[in-house]
Amino acid sequence: MRVAIVHHWLISLAGGERVVNTIAGLFPAADVFTLFADKHNLPPALHKCKITTSFLDKIPGAHRVYRHLLPFYPLAVEMLDLSGYNLIISSDSGPMKGVLTDPGSTHICYCHSPMRYLWDGYPAYSRQMSPLTKGLFGLISHYVRNWDYAAAQRVDHFIANSNYVAGRIRKYYRRDTTVIHPPIDTSQSFLAGNHEDYYLAVGRLVPYKRTDILIEACSKLGRKLLIAGDGPEMKRLRKASARNVEFLGEVSESQLRNLYARCRALLFAADEDFGMVPLEAQSYGRPVIAFGKGGSLETVIGTGKPSGDRKAERDGLSTGLFFEEQTAASLAAAILAFESCEETFVPEAIQAHARRFDTSIFVDRMRNYINCVLYNTSCA
């Protein structure tokens, strides 16, 4: 059986690339197709794979401006030659669901999210633009949005990375899904004896992560905040920060492990599709203070909010707190509420909850699902 793994781009090592890495481990002989690839920064399992990129990848400087090449995505995707492959697995939050496949092939799309800037995120993205750019983006988005809907109908089977994303796939693509949460590597997680007096934020510094809320809340309360990550918002956020906020930039894996293990709690303000960072923090036994919307509701067990772990809820387990409004005031109130009950959080129980999302569980569920699809059997 010839297998192709398809991913929107392989430029950085983020959550989507970890999923690709794990899927490639299931099919080590698979070929990989992507729009753009930095072959010096690939997931480990892809180092020996044959990687085919689109014509866009040949444009000088494309890796710096690839997100601005949206009008050309449909053409670039459809020009990738996947003829002769029996199984195509796309890992996608972009246009790759639209690849053209043979009539007798099977295409399974692991969808991280419909393209936010075309669908539910379109108003927020367009508000940041000048009138001229907004008009041009509107025309392009209308064309690509229609193509994206048509592309979703080419997929044989959809997997969503969360119930939250499954709902958006139903709304925008009118397709049913199976939910399989992304893998979290808990093999190197540990519990520190004592935490230190700082809150932690981890992730790219981009607008939708709302790192500005974290900074404002911690500055208001005089709490120490360490921020691990880089991005286009760095300069603006630095200017708005007080002395209690420290920007660490990109950190190594070992540094990040120590930051997770020793923080008081992780702060998370994004409305994420799933959000691996809260689970990573929990794998070190640390509580999470998260915005109460999106994927966080499936990974953090907080008072008064349903999660995917019904047994833990019945047992009264809590792995964090939610704040209801995406504002600094709401977060500050949640931090104070957390500090009033901080000693009630049990690191061992928090870590056990995170292990429900371990890589081994993802592998078992993906393997079972793929076999069910290929051999037309009922999936348990």
Q: Tens digits of per-residue pLDDT, 147-198?
A: 999 999 999 999 999 999 999 999 999 999 999 999 999 988 888 878 999 9
Q: Is there a single domain that holds both residue 178 and residue 273?
A: no
- Would you say residue 205 lies in a domain? yes
Q: Is there a single domain that holds both residue 128 and residue 210?
A: no
pLDDT confidence of residue 52? 97
Phi, psi of 178 (to 5 degrees): -110, 135
Q: How far apart are CA 95 and CA 140, in angstroms?
A: 14
Of residues 78 and 241, the one with the higher pLDDT is 78
- Ramachandran area for residue 203 (φ above 0: left; ψ -120 to 50: alpha; else beta): left
pLDDT confidence of residue 314? 47
CA distances from 122 to 73, 156, 210, 292 (A): 17, 27, 17, 21
Confidence band of 317 (pLDDT split at 50, 70, 90): confident
Tell me the per-residue pLDDT of 226-274, one tens digit each, with 9 for 90 and over: 999 998 889 999 998 889 999 999 999 899 999 999 999 999 999 999 9
**Tally of domains within the chain:** 2
Number of other CB atoms surrounding residue 85 within 10 Å: 23
Q: Is there a single domain that holds both residue 133 and residue 85?
A: yes
Q: Is there a single domain that holds both residue 70 and residue 155?
A: yes
Q: Does the pLDDT value for residue 303 go beyond 70?
A: no
Closest CA to 15 of 155, 116, 124, 110: 110
Q: Does the pLDDT value for residue 85 go beyond 80?
A: yes
Question: The pTM is what?
Answer: 0.89
Q: Is there a single domain that holds both residue 164 and residue 41?
A: yes
Q: Is there a single domain that holds both residue 238 and residue 334?
A: yes
Q: Is there a single domain that holds both residue 74 and residue 138?
A: yes
Across all residues in the chain, what is the average pLDDT? 92
- Would you say residue 96 lies in a domain? yes
Cβ contacts of 8 within 8 Å, gap of 6 or more? 16, 34, 35, 91, 92, 93, 94, 95, 96
Q: Is there a single domain that holds both residue 320 and residue 369?
A: no
Q: Is there a single domain that holds both residue 141 and residue 255?
A: no
Q: Is there a single domain that holds both residue 91 and residue 220?
A: no
Confidence band of 311 (pLDDT split at 50, 70, 90): low
pLDDT confidence of residue 110? 98
Containing domain of residue 166, as a range? 3-183+359-374
Q: Is there a single domain that holds both residue 127 and residue 158?
A: yes
Q: How far apart are CA 273 and CA 295, in angstroms?
A: 5
Q: Is there a single domain that holds both residue 36 and residue 178?
A: yes
- Would you say residue 72 lies in a domain? yes
Token digits of residue 62: 């494309």
User: Average pLDDT in the 324-337 region?
Assistant: 97
pLDDT confidence of residue 122? 83
Number of other CB atoms surrounding residue 261 within 10 Å: 20
pLDDT confidence of residue 315? 56
User: Average pLDDT in the 352-380 region?
Assistant: 91
User: Average pLDDT in the 128-152 region?
Assistant: 92
Of residues 121 and 33, the one with the higher pLDDT is 33
DSSP string, 141-155: HHHHHHHHHHHHTT-
Q: How far apart are CA 86 and CA 159, in angstroms?
A: 18
- Write the CATH number for 332: 3.40.50.2000
pLDDT confidence of residue 188? 87
- Would you say residue 190 lies in a domain? no
- Write the CATH number for 169: 3.40.50
Q: 330: exposed, middle or buried (C-beta count within 10 Å: 0-12, 13-18, 19+)?
A: middle
User: Average pLDDT in the 295-317 region?
Assistant: 70
